[in-house]
Amino acid sequence: MTSHQDVIEEQPAAIRAGANSTDAGADPEKIQEKSSFEDDASKTSKPEGVVNDAPGGDDNLFGGGKTYRTLGLWDTILVLATNQVGLGILTLPAILKTLGLVPGLIAIVGLGVVSWYTAYELLQFYRAHPQVVNMVDMARVVGGRPLELIFGVGLLFKVMMTCGSATVTLSIAFNTLSNHSVCTVAFAAVAAVCCWVLCLPRTFKFVAQAGLPCTISIIVAVFIVIISLAVAGHPRGEVHGFVKEVVIVGNPSFREGVSACLKVCYAYAGNVGFVSYMAEMKNPSRDFPKALTILQVCSVLLYILTAVTIYCLSGQAVRSPALGSAPDIPAKVAYAIALPAILSTGMVFGHTAIKYLYVVVLRATKTTHRATENSWRSWGLWVGSASIFWVAAFVLASAIPIFDSILSISSATFVAWFTFGISGVFWYHRNWQEKFARKNIPLAIVNALLILQALFMNGVGMWASVMGLLDVYNTPGKIEGSFTCADNSIF
């Protein structure tokens, strides 16, 4: 989940380049006629310690060009936490069942360390090119307009996968709360409509206010599950006297092991928004490493606590999402409390994608000056973009109605690059001339392995994810295909 996730909104090139014409890496071809946004930005005072005052984020395009570098250390920590701690935490207890307690903990800690390094590498690239405001900008620096377009489309689909997973989770929650009183496709439609309504406000300030409370709600829901399991002594669907089996070292098949690791990767998928936050920090070079370290340490500890406790209390009956492991009544309470967090995930990521589509159309029609207009035309474009996006997210959620499967496929396709592989590409771009210097050889190997990891996740990971989904479809008595009315909360 995210709080200020403006990761794929891009300012009009003339605005951003004009304000950064003195920065290293600015594209002189992009410096075109100035707009009123740029004029406003030039009048704002520059916060102390800011190296680059590039305009960006929601306030510039949708609020009038004021200085947006307002995040200090603790503000950044809270924003990063709301960005990262979300739906991914709900699948971690089940991966311990697959991998075993010890290998599962190694995967959680190990991938946490790797994601810390890849996020730090994003900061290194940002220091070298302070004019960028998101990962799409970084892609343009590396590969020009073609790579920028590829990243823009890829990031849009990545966000759509996240919104699809939120829609699936909401359908599971509705099935749990109502004892599967309605067809699952109908619940998915209700979920998509709710998120669509929440995405209609055009300013990101409305969206940002939901971040921290919603993150707290999902943590509270997790602790309700833990407490209820400890008190009841048995998970959902079991009776008193249930004998738990906790596996220390699992014996998964190759495909099961890969799928489990993909779900851990999804829990660390927050890197995609980190560049946008750097661009909103007062002093990213000084404060981001501290904020990142605190985030990763706290995330790993929270993930371990959640995964180990729920798995040890549920044993072989653990479910994914983990909220379904609790006995019936506490599970309903947990899902009810988590609803704001799940809705917020759809709202925040959906708003990001809709704004991207909105700006693309404005650019194509050369009407970016109408971005903040309160007219039928601008509102029609916004509502139309929101409708197209959430119809696509609903179709995706109905095609892949299994929580574990949609998370695994998302990791295999887009998280593979946006969290891991692209940081390796950025390192080679920065160090290409000295990549084989003695001091750089260890990092050259590490970053080559990151790129290979992304390719492995794309190929083998996608195969494992799709085969796992087909296994569910081919199992009698479960969900037997896409667009199903069957209860998807039974897992």
Q: How far is CA 53 from CA 275, 279, 368, 420, in A?
A: 14, 9, 21, 28
Alpha-helical (H) ranges within 129-183 are 135-178
The pLDDT tens digits of the residues spanning 191-244 come to: 999 999 988 987 655 555 666 777 788 889 999 999 999 998 888 777 677 788
Find, among 34, 56, 53, 57, the residue nearest to 45 by Cα.
53
Return left, alpha or beta for 333; rule: phi > 0 is left, psi -120 to 50 is alpha, else beta.
Answer: alpha
The answer, yes or no, to whether the previous bond of 321 is cis (omega within 30 of 0) is: yes
Looking at residue 196, its pLDDT comes to 95
pLDDT of 105 higher than 80: yes
How far from each other are the two terminal CA atoms of the chain, in whole angstroms? 23
Looking at residue 336, its pLDDT comes to 93
Find, among 332, 304, 316, 405, the residue nearest to 92 by Cα.
304
The pLDDT tens digits of the residues spanning 370-401 come to: 777 788 888 999 999 999 999 999 999 999 98
The pLDDT tens digits of the residues spanning 154-184 come to: 988 988 998 999 999 999 999 999 988 889 9
Average pLDDT value over all residues in the chain: 81
d(C-alpha 218, C-alpha 86), whole Å: 7
pTM > 0.85: yes or no: no
d(C-alpha 284, C-alpha 181), whole Å: 50
The pLDDT tens digits of the residues spanning 405-438 come to: 899 999 999 999 999 999 999 999 999 888 778 8
pLDDT of 350 higher than 80: yes
Q: Please report where in the chains the tokens 């199903």 appear, as a residue.
A: 484
pLDDT of 332 higher than 70: yes
Q: How far is CA 230 from the centre of its chain?
A: 31
pLDDT of 440 higher than 70: yes
Pair 265, 114: CB distance under 8 Å: no
